[in-house]
Structure 1
Amino acid sequence: MSPPPTTAQRISDIPRQRAGLAPDDTAVVEDGRTVSYAQLWANVEAARAYLQDQGVATGDRVLVVAENCLAVITLLFALSELGAWPVVVNARLSEREVDEIHAHCRPRLALFTHGASPDALRHGVRYRALESVLPGLGPLMAGALDTASPREPEAVAREVAALLYTSGTTGQPKGVMVTHRGLLHYARVTVASRRLRPHDCAYALMPMSHVFGLATVLLSTFQAGASLYLCARFSAADVVAALRAGEISILQGVPTLFSRILAHLRAQGPGAQGPGAQPWGRLRYLYTGGGPLDLTLKREVEALFGLPLHHGYGMTEYAGSLFVTRMEQPRADCSAGQIVEGAELRVVGADGQPVPAGTPGELWVRGPGVMRGYYHAPELTAAALRPDGWLNTGDIGRLDEDGALFIVGRTKDLIIRSGFNVYPIEVESVLNAHPSIRVSAVVGMPGQDGDEEVVAFVEVAEGQAFDVPAVQAYLKERLSPYKRPQRILRVATIPRTASGKLLKLQLRGMLAEPR
């Protein structure tokens, strides 16, 4: 059966339509339990009734502190039906981070999926939430209702589908008002670009608090009438077992997910690797996003699975990916592919004018996925959105002759060394190719005479020695002098967000601490 015709106006229309067209088809597989689209929609209606009984209505925000589980998906669609905004927060965030988001969005109700997440339980206890078994949702903790929480005007409330928080480069949370229009458009684009069909089953590890998990994984999969293999936490052994059992056909995640699968299989010995040793069931599509792709990792993943590793570029502020590599034209490089349907791109210099073809510049985008703005942050919104609809992404990239996009770095991550531009992503890609380095992060720090110092943090691969002179000699053959790190520092773990994004602000803070 092909995907239903698009008459959706809000994200909850997707599962409603599928429940009507194919009620018995599988929507979610979670911990061995199978939930049909009809069962999912019955849960959504029961959850909507519960929320209404609690006083939740159009224009409210509801904080959901959770890890991936069926209750999160149910709440997303139930709140969509009410015109209220889900504010899904990864339960593994710190107490400070959760509290800052709570204070900023002022939710009418806070819910905690403690049955699927010990961290959600921890936060729920802090907020003195009470445990209940709720219709359509199962065991959940609910905080006290904030009757003083102001409601958004109905017109705005009906336009926005969710409030997704991102820390950005400042470390302060920013609430991105993601629209129904943008998410629905991207779901349709993704179904076409990945050729998703109802018989597909997508691995769903990416948090629903992140646009990758919400748009690329959840909504796009349901738009196709396919199913989710839902996971709260990553286990390489479980993923490999599910792949070999033929349970997963679409494997998507951040680059770290793939590197951990490789590490797990290496630890199992040579016989555990490659389709020659064990077929990969019905796996047919691999995709990574949410961070830069290293060429070495790409080649290793493709050799392991015997499939192209597709890549893309997107952001929360655009409700999904802007560029994706094409299935019919897999690439040998680490390009983010071609622009998706409906999106426009400008590559501009510091003056806001287009730069010559092939020259790195700041990326401005326009299209149906552009956010409505940052919640209660008019200055940040004005800095990002132009009156004519262009969004300044803050990323630096260049277009190849065939229109393929190569991300060079973040505007605020750019390092000026000896008068030259140093793009951290280039240095990181060279470092990551060294056999002793699992992953690296490069930052700039103020040096002498107003110059900047290039500093690299590295995680050492398991079983490898950390030989700084050897790494420096390796870099000397591959990078110009001004690009080479003046310091290479070993750390046990490079700090990341729940979605795998490197937290360079924390790394800069480590350098600023007295030693």
Structure 2
Amino acid sequence: MTNVFDPVCRHAAATPDSVALRGAGDQWTYRQLYDGSMRYAGALAAAGLSPGDRVLLAAPSVPEFVVAYLGIQAAGCVVVPVNTMATRAEIAYVLGDAGCSLAVAWHALGPAVAEAAAPLGVPFWSLYPGASVCEAGPGDVIDRDRDETAAILYTSGTTGRPKGARLTVGNLLSAGEIGASCSRATSTDRTGTGLPLFHVFGQAAVMMATLTVGGSMSLLARFDPAAMLEMLRRDRLTIMAGVPTMWNAMLHAAGDASPADFAGLRVAVSGGASLPGEIARAFEARFGCTILEGYGLTETTAFGTFNDLDRGGKTGYTGRAVPGLRVQVRDADGNECPPGTVGEVHIKGPTVMRGYWNRPADTAAALSSDGWLRTGDLGETDADGDLRIVDRIKDLIIRGGYNVYPGEVEEVLYEHPDIVEAAVIGVPDEHYGEEVAALVTVRAGSALGAAEVSSWARERLSAYKIPRIVRFVDALPKGPSGKILKRSIDRTGLTRDAPPADAAAGRP
């Protein structure tokens, strides 16, 4: 038998009383998780769903998300997780594109899912605390092939309509095994996260890795830095996972937190976006805790590279290929680049998706015939073989013929003591083609001005990389995982206030 539910079946039989999940005020043992998921699978079968049917799932990071997710898997259906903040129109698109047979939503989310499902004739279920379902008996665990689609995760859709990445049974099981191997997790580990489980990072790298080894997983329904630090203390976490904005938020909301609170934390994992070196250094100085950065995509079931536990974190680098995967940086002609040369990152291995749902052309553009995935990310390796992500290809700024990598500029801005968050983007410019713009949030009470930001950058960067447009904002737009969404930034008014004086002086 092969099913994404297999790890829970094993641990429910071997260690039924071990804690699997901890929520805000409850916990579930592996036996309770098994029983709840089997009842959910039985309810799906009683409702007429068959293996392969798609089920939309909208829920925050609560234990009931895991119960429903695994019940869908046990029944042989395909789970389609969506952002809890998705609008009615966005949900309707996913329901139609995936051809869902059922929509399930957490009871407190509001009417968007039900309202989207009704005109499409898609049945709707509410997910309540305890994940109670109809009186149907427990279902059967469906035997599946490893290459069958188990989940469809929709990409952000920043360049057109969202595409559904088809993750297979084998992808998810492999992700769990790789995640456990990278962190050397065991059944005694207590993992905690504020990541959304509907996102691939929380779902594959955290949830599947924890369930694979039979450890426990503590969940925050909504990330809050103070609540995350309290969960660290309360549940005596040994593994914690988050995106850079989460580590940054904890750093600035530390209160009375001390290195003693982090003494039992074996592994701190950052992913989802590049971790600014200044945040990593400040976190280690404040708490004595080294954050290890990894790299992966939805299309690779969250995995690609990871910093080795023995070698520790290398600031600015995401480590080497994880076990079982191959990672190459290639030039425009498809040749592997030597160390120190920027090219596009390619990944091959057991976590690479099967393809995009009903998108053969997009699949062919992303996946080669021999299984290599084009990531769309620019990176380079160093002499040790460690990967550094430079930027998304589509985020590259070309100013007057010079390539400007936003991540490099952001790294410098984060070093300023008054800057809390920064996003660097390119905006159209009549003279240079594109101009470098920086949007920043600052510490409360800061009197930092735009001229000082540009001056700070000028002392540390080449002239063509300096932000000539600086705007101060209260907050930057973020996705469900906390990743800063540059393409959601309103570019209205992001122009230079005067003609570029640099041009008159003949400088780039």
Give the direction of change, closer, same or farther, for the CA distance of 1:232–1:245 in structure 2 (3 Å limit).
Answer: closer
Query: Aligned residue for 1:395?
Result: 377
Query: Aligned residue for 1:148?
Result: none
Query: Aligned residue for 2:109?
Result: 119
Query: Aligned residue for 1:25?
Result: 18
Contact 2:176–2:204, Cα closer than 8 Å, also in 1: yes
Task: Say which of 261, 264, 271 aligns to 2:250.
Answer: 261
Q: Note the 1:75-224 alignment, pairs <5 A.
A: 75-114=68-107, 118-121=108-111, 123-124=113-114, 127=117, 137-138=131-132, 159-224=148-213
Give the direction of change, closer, same or farther, for the CA distance of 1:134–1:508 in structure 2 (3 Å limit).
Answer: closer
Partner deviation per Cα, 1:329-351 (whole Å, 9 max, x = no partner): 11342210111111112211222
Query: Aligned residue for 1:146?
Result: none
Q: Which runs of 5+ in 2 are unaligned?
A: 135-142, 498-508
- Give the residue type in structure 1 aligned to 2:415: A
Give the direction of change, closer, same or farther, for the CA distance of 1:167–1:133 in structure 2 (3 Å limit).
Answer: closer
Give the direction of change, closer, same or farther, for the CA distance of 1:283–1:357 in structure 2 (3 Å limit).
Answer: closer
- Give the residue type in structure 1 aligned to 2:362: L
Cα distance in 1 between the residues matched to 2:7 and 2:411: 39
Q: Secondary structure at the match of 1:110?
A: strand
Partner deviation per Cα, 1:329-383 (whole Å, 9 max, x = no partner): 1134221011111111221122222223210101111111111111111121111
Task: Say which of 287, 303, 313 aligns to 2:269.
Answer: 287
TM-score of the aligned structures, taking structure 1 as reference length: 0.88
Percent of residue pairs bearing the same amino acid type: 36
Query: Aligned residue for 1:352?
Result: 334
Give the direction of change, closer, same or farther, for the CA distance of 1:133–1:9 in structure 2 (3 Å limit).
Answer: closer
Q: Which runs of 5+ in 1 are unaligned?
A: 1-7, 141-153
Q: Does 1:238 align with 2:231?
A: no
Contact 2:293–2:313, Cα closer than 8 Å, also in 1: no
Q: Secondary structure at the match of 1:466?
A: coil
Cα distance in 2 between the residues matched to 1:167 and 1:178: 16
Q: Does 1:59 align with 2:59?
A: no
TM-score of the aligned structures, taking structure 2 as reference length: 0.90
Query: Aligned residue for 1:225?
Result: 214
- Tell me the number of residue pairs that the alignment of Structure 1 and Structure 2 aligns: 484
Cα distance in 2 between the residues matched to 1:406 and 1:493: 27
Contact 1:183–1:320, Cα closer than 8 Å, also in 2: no
The Cα of 1:137 is off from its aligned counterpart by: 1.5
Cα distance in 1 between the residues matched to 2:458 and 2:77: 55
Deviates more, 1:480-489 or 1:446-455: 446-455
Give the direction of change, closer, same or farther, for the CA distance of 1:64–1:395 in structure 2 (3 Å limit).
Answer: same
Q: Does 1:274 align with 2:258?
A: yes
Task: Say which of 4, 8, 15 aligns to 2:8.
Answer: 15
Give the direction of change, closer, same or farther, for the CA distance of 1:511–1:165 in structure 2 (3 Å limit).
Answer: farther
The Cα of 1:200 is off from its aligned counterpart by: 1.2
Contact 1:29–1:228, Cα closer than 8 Å, also in 2: yes
- Give the residue type in structure 2 aligned to 1:159: E
Cα distance in 1 between the residues matched to 2:185 and 2:128: 33
Contact 1:441–1:457, Cα closer than 8 Å, also in 2: yes
Query: Aligned residue for 1:411?
Result: 393
Cα distance in 1 between the residues matched to 2:236 and 2:258: 18
Q: Note the 1:66-77 alignment, pairs <5 A.
A: 66-77=59-70
Give the direction of change, closer, same or farther, for the CA distance of 1:156–1:373 in structure 2 (3 Å limit).
Answer: farther
CA RMSD, Structure 1 to Structure 2 (Å): 2.4
The Cα of 1:177 is off from its aligned counterpart by: 0.3
- Give the residue type in structure 2 aligned to 1:395: D
The Cα of 1:161 is off from its aligned counterpart by: 1.5
Q: Does 1:249 align with 2:238?
A: yes
The Cα of 1:138 is off from its aligned counterpart by: 2.8
Q: Note the 1:376-391 alignment, pairs <5 A.
A: 376-391=358-373
- Give the residue type in structure 1 aligned to 2:60: E
Contact 1:346–1:363, Cα closer than 8 Å, also in 2: yes
Q: Secondary structure at the match of 1:301?
A: helix
Contact 1:46–1:135, Cα closer than 8 Å, also in 2: no
Q: Secondary structure at the match of 2:265?
A: coil
Query: Aligned residue for 2:298?
Result: 316
The Cα of 1:124 is off from its aligned counterpart by: 3.5
Task: Say which of 337, 342, 345 aligns to 1:363.
Answer: 345
Partner deviation per Cα, 1:444-480 (whole Å, 9 max, x = no partner): 1222256221111212233322311111111011110
